[in-house]
Amino acid sequence: MYRGRDAKLLPLEPGHKYFLSDCNAPRSGDLLDVGCGTGNFLAAARDRGFRVSGTELDRSAANFAREKLSLENIFPFSIIDFAAQSHVAKYDVVTFFEVLEHQADPAAFLNSIVSCLRPGGYIALSVPNRQRWLTGPDVFDYPPNHFLRWNEAAMRNVLNRFGFQVISVRQQPVDFPYAVSMINMALRSGLTKKVTGREDVYFRDVMQMDAAKAAAAIREAPSARQRLMRTLGKLKRTLCYPLAGAALPYLRMRGYKAPYLYCLAKLS
């Protein structure tokens, strides 16, 4: 799912930008980013004056962060295993962007976050917004990829129970790329299955196969009909661009939301 992401420096995600521009967030201190990936956010936070560390289980991503971005403190642990170490440092800020929704045991995850914070420390996070605009099922929004769905009320309730005071919440408004995707999704016709006799295999389906079937599905070369339908699919998406441009002012006026739900909270 994430292959190829360690080939270049990825742009910052909206959650990263919301934290770095949040006037209520700390501007310096020791920061730990959980699930730091290739380190794009850590590099940006370091440039803003933070002393940064991260945890990352993907070895390729962690190597990119060390070798390309000179980020030395990248630890190959889950946050639960990291927090269980007796010598673990305490941090002024712990961030976890697009990580919480993947947790099968969110209580253990958040308890570990708390144990890594200094008194009065901050957390910053983003999750997919359960109240985002959707025109069809999101194939990645189910186990074994996502275990949890969040909206602002759920976020506030859970963080309050773990001793946090919510300082800032921001819901990403619908933007042009997201409008294109949702219009494209709404215009699904089922034509691929009619022409090829089968539906495209989504990564969610591959994740749930046993190892042999998954390997075969990944290796399988597309047929001529499948290649044709994929080309037509790209053409259909291109045609969604003017539709999205025309619809965007209305969608913004009605308050439609895009995926990112950002939150900043302080440990009471």
Q: Cα separation of 82 and 63, whole Å?
A: 18
pLDDT tens, residue by residue, 38-91: 999 999 999 999 999 999 999 999 999 999 999 999 999 999 999 998 788 899
Please indicate whether residue 8 or residue 114 has the higher confidence score (pLDDT): 114
Q: Which fold has domain 5-173+259-267?
A: Rossmann fold (3.40.50)
What is the band of 1 on the pLDDT scale with cuts at 50, 70, 90?
low
DSSP summary character for residue 101: G
Helices 59-69 and 40-47 cross at an angle (nearest 10°) of 30
Span(s) in the chain for CATH 3.40.50.150: 5-173+259-267
pLDDT surpassing 70 at residue 199: no
Among the listed ranges 27-41, 68-82, 83-97, 204-218, which one has the minimum average pLDDT value?
A: 204-218
Check residue 4 and give left, alpha or beta (phi > 0: left; psi -120 to 50: alpha): left
Half-sphere exposure of 153 (CA within 13 A, CB side): 2
pLDDT of residue 193: 65
Name the average pLDDT for the chain: 91
Please indicate whether residue 21 or residue 219 has the higher confidence score (pLDDT): 21
